[in-house]
Amino acid sequence: QVVESCVAAAGYSVGEFAALVFAGALGFAEALYAVKVRAEAMQKASEAVPSGMLSVIGRREANYKFACLEARKHCESLGIENPVCEISNYLFPDSRVIAGHLQALEFLQKNARKYYFTRTSMLPVSGAFHTRLMEPAVEPLAEVLKSIEIQKPVVCVYSNVDGKKYMHAKHIKKLLVKQVVSPVLWEQTMHSVYERKQGTEFPYTYEVGPGKQLGAILKKCNVKAWKQYNHVDALEDEEAEET
C-alpha cells in the first residue's frame, strides 16, 4: 500500500540510482553495473589529484562562494593551475560540503573564523566528488548508460542536478551523467518535494537503507514534513528473516 500510494522518490548522490530502480525507470542489475562503472571511474579520477571534501556548518553571515574564491587564489599562489574549490553538496540551511584540492580545503579550515564557519570536518572520502575534478568519470558512465534501457518513471523522481522531476528516459541519461560533476542540490530538492499549499497535509516519508542522515537533514529543512518521517533499515529486515 505504501508503494502504491507513493507520490515521489529521491536519492542522495549514488542513491539516485536506487530511487530510479524503485520507480521502475532502471532494472536492478543494469543499475548495479552502472554504479560499479561510475564508482571505478570516480575513484580513478580522484587518484589523479590530491583532493577531498569538507563538511561545513556556517553562521548566517557565511559566504561560501567567496570563501571558495579565496581558497582558489591561495592555491594559485602555491603554483596550482586551475585549482578547484566549490560547493559540492547543499545539505540544509547553513550547511554545505565544499570539495576540491586538498590545499584549498586546508586553507578554509585554517581560516574558518574569517568566513563565519562554526564547524568544519574533512569527510572520509578519497576525492572531490560532484566537482569538475570528476570529469574523467563522465565518459565511462555515459557509455554504460547508452547501452541500458531506461523507462519513464512510474513515480516522480527528483534529480540531484536541478531539484526537479525527471521527465523522460533521455533526460534521465543526461542528468545522471551531469550529476557526477554537479553539486548535489539536496536542500533544494527537499523544498521541491514538500512544496504544497498551506494547510495541505505532508505525506509519509520513508528513508530506506542504513543510517538516518537524510531524516536529520529533512528535519533541518522542513520540521513539519519530518514529523511524518520513518526509517526502514533493509539490512535489519534481512537479518530478522535469517534468524
Does residue 51 sit in helix, strand or coil?
Answer: strand
Q: How far apart are CA 20 and CA 117, in angstroms?
A: 35
In the residue annotation, 130 being an active-site residue is answered as yes
Q: How far apart are CA 138 and CA 153, in angstroms?
A: 23
Listed residue (17, 13, 18, 5) closest to 208, CA to CA: 18
Q: How far apart are CA 9 and CA 15, in angstroms?
A: 10
Question: For residue 21, which amino acid is it?
Answer: V
Q: How far is CA 89 from CA 25, 31, 56, 103, 160, in A?
A: 25, 23, 10, 19, 9
Q: Which of 46, 74, 95, 130 is catalytic?
A: 130
CA angle 70, 71, 74 (to 5 degrees): 90
Spatial contact of 141 and 41, defined as CB atoms under 8 Å apart: yes
- Cβ neighbors of 91 (< 8 A, separation 6 or more) are 97, 186, 187, 217, 220
Supply the DSSP symbol for 122: E
In the residue annotation, 13 being an active-site residue is answered as yes
Q: How many CB atoms lie within 10 A of CB 74?
A: 20
Q: Which of 13, 55, 126, 192 is catalytic?
A: 13
Enzyme catalytic residues: 13, 130
